[in-house]
Amino acid sequence: MFRSVTHMNFASTVTELLIPQEVLPKGSLRLSMFYGLLTLGPQILLILNERMIFRYGAHGILSLSYLLSVLSSFIYILSSNAYITMMFMLIDSITVHSAGPLFNIIISDFIDDDAKRNTRRSPISSLVFSLNALFVKPAQSIAPVIVVLILNNYNYQEYLTSKVPSNDLVNAMRDVLFGIPLILGALQYLIFNMLLLATVVADQLRSTIPCSLLSFSMIPFATVSMSIGGISWFLPRKAFQLRVHNQLKGPSFN
């Protein structure tokens, strides 16, 4: 959500600071088409690739999008070229706005799976989506504030008045544009795959994933599940399964 809000609120600022007027003149049809491509392109791409999503699963596409976010951020090396920067903005927009909606599919799958595991009369959808909103809504408000706070250290307020950017402000905007996907993409990829690993281990042990889902940049994770996943990174899989299995043995299982 942090990345999505940043896209929506600062796309015009990024183009003004990093894309020369000769490439995308202000008020031109080319500029409008570029904004339209950033906004509608990912949604159209998502619709056209329905079969690929069905084939690889929402979790596979989502994991790939996080990895692509990290790899694409290294385009920073060539960011002095305006067209390279525009290409990166398009790639990043696709990874955020195309893959982001798949997150809701994963949440729905988790709710259905939890209902089957625990034979619940009613699903825990209200709890899950409430916890998700608890973290998503603040992110929507905090994201612009953090970006503006960073840019204000480089005379962003003076730029809003004079419309003459300093070199420091241009460099800061470039760092924000490429840095956010690198940092958040890496965190999302690690947390998401750790959750998947924890889910696989839990399935094999027939244990229940806790319902205490949290959401960081639109990534839900279970506190205990992350602990299981973290331990499983360092212990051999068989040894890890045996250890947890022994702990689960007790009078209640006899």
* Between residues 32 and 217, the one the model is more confident about: 32
Predicted confidence (pLDDT) at residue 225 exceeds the cutoff of 50: no
Question: Where are the domains positioned within the chain?
Answer: 1-235
Cβ-based neighbour number of residue 236 at 10 Å: 9
Poorest-confidence range of 60-69, 80-89, 221-230? 221-230
Read off the pLDDT of residues 70-126 as tens digits, 9 standing for 90 and up.
998 898 888 888 899 999 999 888 888 877 778 778 877 777 877 777 777 777 777
Mean pLDDT of 232-250: 43
CA dist 152 → 62, 79, 138, 203 (Å): 33, 22, 21, 49
CATH C-level class of 1-235: mainly alpha
Structure tokens at 38: 């950033």
If residue 40 lies in a helix (H) or strand (E), which one and from where to where?
helix 29-48
Q: What is the pLDDT of residue 211?
A: 43
- What separation in angstroms does the CA of 115 have from each of 31, 123, 125, 175, 199? 48, 6, 10, 44, 15
Instruction: Tell me the pLDDT tens digit for each residue of 169-202.
Output: 999 999 989 988 899 889 888 888 887 776 665 5
Both tokens of 155, joined, read: 């005379």
* Each residue's pLDDT tens digit, 200-216: 655 554 444 444 443 44
Residue 70 sits at the vertex; the CA angle it makes with 68 and 73, to the nearest 5 degrees, is: 105
